[in-house]
């Protein structure tokens, strides 16, 4: 089964061809990062416009790279939420037009299910049930993956997402957008124990997260240093902040997996490429006898291959979207 997948939920215009849910024949990503860097974050209007300009060519490239034509494709998969409504609409309209014109089935995919499904690409042995730590730009979830296409949210963030906290702190310490990879890099030269930032817990909710506190603590620290006219050591701030976030993510993920009797954890989303998170998860999972999975960096951040994988499992389970498929900006996991 060949799926042509389209992803346009944020600032990546992406298309991919995936065979039988596990083999990526092509994965084309046109990033708009340089366009949005100017504004310090994604500008929705610009994102939509660029998706429109680029989407046809990205799809053509995905077909060409995979040595396939539209005739070979069995179904069209597309992200329909969550994300920026104007950005999502471009992919959804394109997918509907293609599916209608080519007379192929249409499969709407949840973006976060795609992030989780990215783990299936390189880990052929990974199969549900397993536990997942989803850490992306807009989401921080602990998820029980009960079966393909069947999810239960065990915990989530009460305020900022992990990636969002990375991006905001990076901006505050002058590293610019997108902040996650920059903090990751500069933290390597800093001392993670230099500054004690809080590890927030949510009362009576052992699986939930809160990252607005640690973000404010960093901002307060910077203000105080400036008032005292003392130096701000960016690598130390980055390393200490990163350690505070990673400590909480690792602790919660391991606790959740154990409490729900899971023997493997799959990390997903853009922050899954963070090197400290990977190292600390490895250490903790080895200690706990837990199997650990995470995708290569290119499959952690937004891409269409992961959407093709998720679409495949929907497709073989007989799920189809109608011509009324619409963009759903705040679509919840497990919702259809």
Q: Which C-beta is closer to Mg ion: that of 52 or that of 288?
A: 52
For 112-139, give the DSSP string: HHHHHHTHHHH-TT--SSEEEEEE-SS-
Q: Is residue 113 a contact residue for Fe ion (CB under 5 A)?
A: no
Minimum distance of ligand ATP from residue 229's CB (angstroms): 31
269 forms part of the interface with ligand ATP (CB under 6 A)? yes
The closest residue (CB) to ligand ATP is 270
- Taking the complex as a whole, how short is the minimal distance between the CB of residue 201 and Fe ion, in angstroms? 26
From the list ligand ATP, Mg ion, Fe ion, none, partner contacted by residue 304 (C-beta under 5 to 8 A by kind): none
Using CB under 5 A, which of the segments 88-96, 113-121, 280-288, 298-306 binds Mg ion? Answer: 298-306
Provide the token pair at 209: 């997260």
Count of residues that interact with ligand ATP, criterion CB under 6 A: 25
Cβ atoms of residues 288 and 84 within 8 Å: no
Interatomic CA distance for residues 323 and 282, integer angstroms: 44
Between 29 and 107, name the residue whose CB sits nearer to ligand ATP.
Answer: 29
The span from the CA of 123 to the CA of 295, in Å, is: 8
Binding residues for Fe ion, rule CB under 5 A, total 2
Q: Which is nearer to Fe ion, 139 or 144 (CB)?
A: 139
Convert residues 137-156 into a mask of x (bound to ligand ATP by CB under 6 A) and - (unbound).
xxx-----------------
Phi-psi domain of 103 (left: phi exceeds 0; alpha: psi -120 through 50; beta: other): left
Among 302, 312, 328, 333, binds ligand ATP (CB under 6 A): 302
- Applying CB under 6 A, does 80 fall inside the site for ligand ATP? no
SS (H, E, C) 303-317: CCHHHHHHHHHHHHC
Largest Cα–Cα distance in the chain? 68
Distances (CA, A) of 148 to 7, 112, 126, 131, 262: 20, 13, 11, 12, 16
**Sole binder of Fe ion in the list 58, 302, 303, 310 (CB under 5 A):** 302
Measured on CA atoms in the order 70, 72, 75, 76, is the torsion positive or negative?
A: negative
Stretch that binds ligand ATP, among 23-31, 123-131, 172-180, 221-229 (CB under 6 A): 172-180
Q: Which two tokens stand for residue 199?
A: 């590890």
Options 105, 149, 180, 308; binder of ligand ATP; rule CB under 6 A = 180
100 Cβ neighbours under 8 A, 6+ residues apart: 323
Residue 136 in the binding site for Fe ion (CB under 5 A): yes
> Rounded to the nearest whole angstrom, what is the least distance from the CB of residue 164 to Mg ion in the complex?
12
> Contact region for ligand ATP (CB under 6 A) — 203-211, 255-263, 268-276, 321-329?
268-276
Sign of CA dihedral 169, 300, 191, 235: negative
122-262-150 Cα angle (round to 5): 70
Q: Which residues are annotated as a binding site for substrate?
A: 134-138, 167, 180, 184, 274
CB of 229 vs Fe ion, minimal distance in Å: 40
- Least separation in angstroms between residue 31's CB and Fe ion is 12
Structure tokens at 99: 């599916």
Buried b (16+ CB within 10 A) or exposed e, 45-70: ebbbbbbbebbeebbeebbeebebee
Q: Which residues are annotated as a binding site for Fe cation?
A: 111, 115, 302
Residues found near Fe ion in the complex (CB under 5 A) = 136, 302
- Contacts with ligand ATP by CB under 6 A lie at 9-10, 82-83, 111, 115, 136-139, 163, 166-167, 178-181, 184, 269-271, 273-274, 301-302
Kindly list the residues in this chain that would bind Mg ion in the complex (CB under 5 A).
10-11, 302
């Amino acid at each position: 089964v060949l799926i042509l997948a389209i992803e346009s939920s944020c600032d990546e215009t992406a298309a991919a061809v995936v065979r039988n849910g596990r083999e990526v024949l092509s994965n084309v990503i046109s990033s708009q990062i340089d366009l949005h860097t100017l504004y310090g974050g994604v500008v929705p209007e610009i994102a939509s416009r660029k998706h429109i300009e680029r989407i046809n060519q990205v799809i053509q490239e995905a077909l060409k790279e995979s040595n396939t034509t539209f005739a070979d494709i069995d179904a069209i998969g597309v992200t329909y939420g969550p994300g920026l409504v104007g950005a999502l609409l471009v992919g959804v309209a394109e997918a509907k037009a293609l599916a209608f014109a080519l007379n192929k089935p249409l499969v709407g995919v949840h973006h976060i299910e795609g992030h989780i499904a990215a783990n299936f690409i390189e880990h052929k042995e990974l199969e549900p049930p397993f536990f997942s730590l989803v850490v992306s730009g807009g989401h921080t979830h602990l998820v029980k993956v009960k079966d393909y296409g069947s999810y239960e949210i065990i915990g989530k963030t009460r305020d900022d997402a992990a990636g969002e906290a990375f991006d905001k702190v990076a901006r505050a310490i002058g590293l610019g957008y997108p902040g996650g990879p920059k903090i990751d890099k500069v933290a390597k030269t800093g001392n993670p124990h230099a500054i004690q930032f809080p590890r927030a817990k949510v009362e009576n909710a052992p699986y939930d997260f809160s990252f607005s506190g640690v973000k404010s603590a960093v901002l307060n620290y910077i203000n105080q240093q400036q008032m005292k006219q003392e130096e701000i050591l960016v690598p130390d701030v980055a390393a200490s902040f990163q350690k505070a976030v990673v400590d909480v993510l690792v602790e919660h993920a391991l606790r959740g997996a154990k409490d729900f009797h899971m023997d493997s954890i799959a990390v997903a989303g853009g922050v899954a490429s963070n090197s400290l998170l990977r190292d600390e998860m490895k250490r903790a999972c080895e200690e706990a006898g837990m199997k650990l999975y995470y995708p290569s960096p290119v499959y952690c951040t937004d891409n269409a291959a992961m959407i093709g994988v998720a679409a495949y499992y929907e497709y073989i389970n007989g799920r189809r979207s109608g011509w009324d498929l619409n963009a759903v900006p705040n679509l919840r996991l497990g919702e259809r």
